[in-house]
Amino acid sequence: MLVGYARVSTQEQDTALQLEAFKAAGVIKVFEEKASGAKFNRPVLWQCLSSLRSGDQFVFYKLDRVARSLSDLLRILEAVEKAGASIRSLT
């Protein structure tokens, strides 16, 4: 299953562009979050990662929507790998 994660940094922004790209890519389930990427403790991101199952694909619009540092990215990739899933960036 394609599982998407859409994030914007502020309440004034929206995820419309990301959601449209997910729809075009055939993403089935989408988790949306409005939180700064500088925070690693993002509840919706971790809910999304916890939902991944073997064979799923973790989809995001752009790498900076998921992680802002290499160390954060490595922790996220570890969670994806542990679930038996893969990743895909749409851009």
Residues with catalytic function = 9
Per-residue exposure over 17-46, b if at least 16 CB sit within 10 Å of its own CB, e if not: ebbebbeeeebeebbebbbebeeeebeebe
In angstroms, the CA 69 to CA 64 distance is 9
